A and B are shown apart, each in its own frame.
Chain A
Amino acid sequence: MTATFTDRSPRFIRIVRRIPVWIIVGILLVVVVYPLFWLLTGSLKTQEEFLNNPTWALPEDWTNFDNYVEAWTTGNLAVYIRNSVLAVVPALFLTIVFGVAAGFALEVMVWKGRGPVLLAFLAGIMIPGQMILLPLFTIYFRAGLTGTLWPLIITYTAIGLPLTVFMMATYFRSVPREIFEAATLDGANIFRMFWTIGFPLVRNAIFTVALVQFFFIWNDLLIALTFTTRDDLRTIQVGLLNFTGQFGQIQYGPTFAAIAVNVIGTLAIYLFLNQRVMKGLTAGSVKG
């Protein structure tokens, strides 16, 4: 973007003009960053400090990680994170494998009826999760799956498919058709074409879609809350929701630490991949 408000006024006036903007940016930084900073400092405070010092005071000992230990073990955070990983990783894998293959079949391959099928997938994007909750609960209950993580894996896979299929179809559309036609003339069969040509060409796109789906699934509360009937199956979001209850309202430190673990974990992924996360999430969401 090079659209500028160029003017020939002296530098001094330009600086004065920018003051309101810097104030806005300053406010923005305080509003976005300070609550997180407050959370992190809170997670290092002892119960004493919570009761005696003002809330904005800095922790007296910056290396006091007792709260984290407490949250991790007594607070079952370790178990919740394990459950989340066990549910999210297989679901993510299945969503991507099924979704990329379906996107290829719907966009690159030529057959009657692919329009309506793509539209059927598209319809799934706008259906609220509440609409499929009760039948699924009944099915999983009857199939005896309620004591496992399978309901989460299956549901996440299905819910992730519409957006994944749609985004993959869009990415395949931008690949010149001549590439696939040339490969056909060279005698490649369709599966070879998918693996050696289609897949590598959209590899970056797949990574972006996977990232988008990861954040959706990892942060899900509705599905996890409905289908995790046992305490030891709770995912991190459900566990966190019940966290304050577990310790009683008075235990500040471990609560702050538990929230902080969530925030720091997400922050780590985000800092490494922020441009891609921003692009992916905005692209994925607008199409939804």
Chain B
Amino acid sequence: MIINHPLLGPRDAQEFTYLGDASLIDRPDWQAPDAARTFYEYHYLRDNPAGEHRELWFHEQGDRSWLVVTRNTLTHEITKVELAREVARTRGRSA
């Protein structure tokens, strides 16, 4: 698989480490009254779709950036690659 890095261009997926579902960006509020429940769901439960999946890849052997890759789990086709930082920012999670 080739991941088209937004800053560095096409890179072999072998340079990356995979973390999992990009929903892990949406860390729940630890002070919320239902934090125990939301952290359990955040940590352990997954949509696990067959088809389009947004996921986190770490460019470990490159610029060490985190990417959000939109990939089809049935075909391995990659349709979108974003910097995780930008994704987090648009959701108000990062400065």
Q: Are A and B co-members of a single complex?
A: no
